[in-house]
Structure 1
Amino acid sequence: MRTKTSDTYKKEILEQYKREKGGEMNNYLFKPTRKQIKEACLWLLHRRNEKYDEGILNRFFQFKEGENKAYAIERTHGDKFKPIINFLTGETKSTTPANLELISWLIDFKKRPLSIYLKTNPKPEDEHETTLLNVKQITVKNEVEKINIPETQVIQRTNKSITIISQINPSLKITTIVSL
């Protein structure tokens, strides 16, 4: 399993963008321009209201208290969107956290913002590998339960191995480690 970091967050957002070309917003984001990103923000402003979206928008646009958000977005200078375009088109490899969060909002990346992403369980590298691991764990567990040797006990169990100690007679102890 992969550990989730800000780098994996950035990578997954970019992968979703490349895979879906903006998803629902592909009319604006397929070949993004400054004007199209601004228009996408205006169109989504009252349509995409997940729990943390207001904070994402406030961080990027830096709305003033009581300010009309649509008006504030309309008067945002187009240059503010240029780093987003550069990132999405591959001209740059990184962007600011505020830009990345706005992109996550625009493409509807479900595990946004970063603080929520980091709290979600890491996904397995390979789904098949996880299934095999679960089958092996069940098989080994069943086999250990079938062992009918006196004084046999599992002394350590992890997701990758089981350590069993068996005492055949008073002078002979056998330790077995089974890798899953």
Structure 2
Amino acid sequence: MSRKTSMTYKNEILEQYQRERGGEMSNYLFEPTRRQIKEACLWLLPRRKEKYDEGILNRFFKFKEGENKSYAIERMKGDKFKPIINFLKGETKSTTPANLELISWLIDFKPRPLSVYLNTEKYTKTETTRQKSMPMKQTYQIPTETEMVEIPDTKVIQKDDRSITIISQINPSLKITTIVSL
């Protein structure tokens, strides 16, 4: 496993793009044009809203306070997207961090942005693929009749039409409160 850097981030984004040709956005990104990238941004704007996505978009589009983001993207000149196209087509080897982050958002590369990517644990691509394709199974051991099972002391402490609050005392120093919405 190699150390994560801004270079590995760039390479992994480009590899994902080349492998998936835009993934969910392949209609727009398979053979990207300035107009298609703009349309992809407009289509994704209300749909892709993860924790850092707003910052990624603000960095690229430089939205003004209170500005209608869709309208601002529509007004954006197509030349702003040309470096992204050149990078995706391999005509240039590098691009600005803002362009790279927008590409990561467009193709739904995770983890994004770079700051989050650099702070994630190192893993191999086969581990990532395995985690996506094979859900982890949890196994539970059912005690036999001869094994004693300790059931915690549990009491309903509040109940109304919308919820039930239950408290369980696992041991003298540990109490767990559970609220169940109905």
Q: Which has the higher helix share?
A: 1
Q: CA deviation at 1:125?
A: 7.9
Within 1, Cα distance between the matches of 2:58 and 2:124? 34
Q: What does 1:14-93 correspond to in 2, within 5 Å?
A: 14-93=14-93
SS at match of 2:28: helix
Correspondence for 1:162: none
**CA positional deviation for 1:123:** 1.8
Segments of structure 2 that go 5 or more residues without pairing to the other structure are 128-182
Partner of 1:101: 101
Letter in 1 for 2:108: D
Q: What amino acid does structure 2 have at the position aligned with 1:91?
A: E
- Name the structure 1 match of 2:158: none
Residue 54 of structure 1 and its aligned partner are, at CA, apart by: 0.2
Report the Cα distance in structure 1 between the residues aligned to 2:47 and 2:76, rounded to whole angstroms: 20
Conserved 8 A contact 1:104-1:113: yes
The number of residue pairs the alignment matches comes to 127
Call closer, same or farther: CA 1:46–1:7 in 2, change over 3 Å: same
Identity %: 80
The answer to whether the 8 A contact 1:56-1:113 is kept is yes
The TM-score normalised by the length of structure 2 is 0.68
Distance 1:9 1:126 in 2: 17
Deviations 1:51-99 (A, max 9, x none): 0000000000000000000000000000000000000000000000000
Partners of 1:2 and 1:125 within 8 A in 2: no
